[in-house]
Chain A
Amino acid sequence: MNPPLPPRRKADPLALPRQALMPQGGRSRAALGLAAMAAQGRFTLQVCVACGATQYPPRDVCHECLGTDLPWRDVATGATLLGETTVHLSGDTYFRVRTPWRTGLVALDCGPSAVAHVHPDVTPAGRARMRLMLDRSGQGVLLALPERDTANMMDDPMIREMTCDPRGRRILITDGRSALGQEAARSLLAAGAAQVFLGIADAWKPFKGQDTLPGDAVPLDLTDATSVGELAAEFGGRIDIVVNTALHIRPGGPLDRRDLVSAREEMEAAYFGPLRLAQALGPTLRARAADGPYGACAWVNIHGIDALAPDPSFALTGAAQAAGLSLSQSLRTALAPIRVLTAFVGPLEDEWHQAIPPPKVTPSALAAAILRGLREGLEEIAVGDIAMDVMRRWRDNPATLARERAG
């Protein structure tokens, strides 16, 4: 049995922090597919359309029939451990300070043999359950877990490197005035977060839930550089996860408004605000990414699913969401090894979506999905039926989706 994670200790102020290094991230184009699938928490490998052979390592040509049509397909997750090693000496700067590190060769039930990270609870020569995970370089890697969950399974240091479990971590939620922010705070505290800072803009203005606020209120207005700077100066070194819940969704197409006031506000909330926050908090967060099992690990951005293709009745919001999504994608590189989790949502159950029929996403459902995404180390989640539906259409064919959404 894996020992439980030791409780978070106060950092030694004299000790030099461990540098936030990453495992080697260079991959062939085909192997990038592993990361794309790991981001969604799917266990997929390339399967040859012509002959059905499963491929691994990722290839450009089928090893059986030389076919070149090798789409990624969900495959069986079972495997048997054939041989293993515990690495004690590694020349790599990331691994050498993380040894002992267990790896092995598994025979996948779907066919190929694969080198994988091996959880300590997998028995020698035993059965395993495979998952595709993102490592700290953001690349997809294979992980062999015990066939059934074991006690403290996800507390293993190797697993903590690949996940962003909020337990024991300190979290900033940017918008504590919103129901979403408050729900996210409740959910993360219930999951064992050490502390939740709730950003409150314009504190003099009353808001719903202010008397039962979970976590610690801190002044934060993402539209104000001074406010963001002050927050970073005071709390920056204590934040392990950022959950940006600032979501500003307003109806209206380009000709429904007579000026740019509202469009600017949407860009401010979806793009400039998060950019300002990333500039203020990013360097500190990144530098603390290797700070033990409770080190800084994740940045969560929420995007309306309109970011993928606009809905004409929310078109300007869609433009701002697309800008925010583009920022999220570039933050993946800029903040690495901090994981950037993008949560896509459809219509929310709020005052701005009264004219939209259900299904709509409640703040608590969105908060629960974010928690799950962090725990499983995902990079991309779609929350609610509408977002999942649009996401599937987008993966099928983005150009067709744009026409469909245009109505």
Chain B
Amino acid sequence: MSRRAAYDGVVAAVPVTIPYERYSIQTAHWWIGRALAETIRRAGIRKRDIDGLCVSSFTLGPDTAVGLTQHLGMSPRWLDHIPMGGATGVVALRRAARAVQAGDAEIVACVAGDTNGPDSFRALVAGFSRFAADATYPYGAAGPNGSFAILTDAYMRRFGATREDFARICVAQRQNALGFPHALMKRKLTMEEYLAARMVSSPVALFDCVMPCAGAEAFLVMRDDTAASLGLKTARVLSTIERHNAFPEDPIQLRGGWAQDMPELYAMAGTTPAGIDLLQTYDDYPVIVMMQFEDLGFCAKGEGPEFVRSHDLTLAGDFPHNTSGGQLSVGQAGAAGGYLGMTEALRQITGTPLGPQVANARTALVSGFGMINYDRGLCSGAAILQAA
């Protein structure tokens, strides 16, 4: 039995996605500012009504959330800056929810945004972390492509996954993206095209990789009565988990922190994997998607390949997954990539999708994964949300 208090009375609302661009001459400040402005406009509030701010960005430097308050002319009484890459969306939600629940803030704006120039990604990778600079980048300098290729290779050897299995994930997500107006990838992807694609860092090929881009995502967290007075469509937070550097004794990463915390995730929400209507995983590479299917309890460890063979992962399928197309098709806007699943899930379960609506979507699971500090992703998190 979990001893954690429920998130009673707290809701998330107003999911905002600022359409991504491959390259931008603007700054992270500009992208974050746009997302905040759009959130305020859609919520029908004033800037000063936001008394809590949570920011994530890789390209805001040398500023942090602190500098941003002055840049944007905000005076929040609660401020957070979350450097957790793909786990930022989930972690921002759970921190903001507690702040609102405890009364430390009334309305928290959670925002992630990054810009992207022609050399941004290489520069980010070259100086990503101390361990990466000391012990990863000097070995071929392939960045996350190389690191995830090694994990993918090990996973394939261990569990018999094939490139066709990973293709099923990528092809289904591309299918979903065709209906999502902001996706940077707008062409249908076939299994043949996937398999014939240029090898980037074997066994990771072109369509296993996300496209770095500029963009921003945001949402608001507040009490349900605040939201009701504003007339907003909302989702309740049923449960969340967060874990860092899980299983450090594993010689290579074949599971993430979700495997440690999954029982609590469902127990707190009072549901099971069967009660999830749609799943948004963190999809920087398809092997990580497969691990999330396993570690979040949708199938047993090692059964990921069989799971993708026997399920239809598209919007209209029996297992709606990454319904906007995910980062693999929409693009990876830096830290905003860690929000993409959150905003999409909020839209789907509040009946405000930008593309097709998933039928009977009431309960969503959003999962995050971030920061290859050295040889593995360190941050994992997940949240279960339900239409209010």
Q: Does B62 contact A (CB under 8 A)?
A: no
Docked pose: A26 CA to B127 CA in angstroms: 9
Chain B residues, CB < 8 A from A58: 134-135
Interface SS of A by simple majority: loop
Chain A residues, CB < 8 A from B155: 83
| Residues A92 and B122 in contact in the complex (CB < 8 Å), given A85-B142, A87-B140 | yes
Beta-carbon contacts of A83-98 to B below 8 Å, as 1s and 0s? 1111111111011000
Beta-carbon contacts of A7-44 to B below 8 Å, as 1s and 0s? 00000000000000001101110110000000000000
Contact residues, B360-375 vs A (CB, 8 A): 374-375
Partner of A24, one of B133, B150, B252: B133
- CB of A85 within 8 A of CB of B375, answer no
Q: Does B248 contact A (CB under 8 A)?
A: yes
Q: Does A323 contact B (CB under 8 A)?
A: no
Distance to closest chain A CB from B341 (angstroms): 26
Q: Does A107 contact B (CB under 8 A)?
A: yes
Partner of A115, one of B139, B145, B200: B139
Partner of A27, one of B125, B133, B153, B204: B133
Question: Nearest A residue to B245 by beta-carbon distance?
Answer: A63
Docked pose: A29 CA to B164 CA in angstroms: 44
Question: Nearest B residue to A102 by beta-carbon distance?
Answer: B140
| Residues A105 and B154 in contact in the complex (CB < 8 Å), given A26-B133, A63-B248 | yes
Beta-carbon contacts of A101-122 to B below 8 Å, as 1s and 0s? 1011101000001111100000
- CB of A89 within 8 A of CB of B139, answer no
Docked pose: A125 CA to B251 CA in angstroms: 13
Q: Does B7 contact A (CB under 8 A)?
A: no
| Residues A28 and B201 in contact in the complex (CB < 8 Å), given A89-B145, A91-B122 | no
Q: Does A139 contact B (CB under 8 A)?
A: yes
Partner of A107, one of B146, B152, B251: B251
Distance to closest chain B CB from A313 (angstroms): 45
- CB of B122 within 8 A of CB of A103, answer no
Beta-carbon contacts of B198-229 to A below 8 Å, as 1s and 0s? 11111110000000000000000000000000
Known: A91-B143, A92-B126. 6 other contacts (CB 8 A): A56-B135, A85-B150, A88-B198, A89-B142, A95-B142, A115-B136
Q: A residues bordering B, Cβ < 8 Å? A: 23-24, 26-28, 30-31, 56-58, 63, 82-92, 94-95, 99, 101, 103-105, 107, 113-117, 124-125, 135, 137, 139, 141
Supply 10 A–B pairs (Cβ within 8 Å), ascending by A. Answer: A27-B134, A28-B130, A84-B153, A87-B145, A91-B125, A103-B140, A105-B251, A105-B375, A113-B251, A117-B139
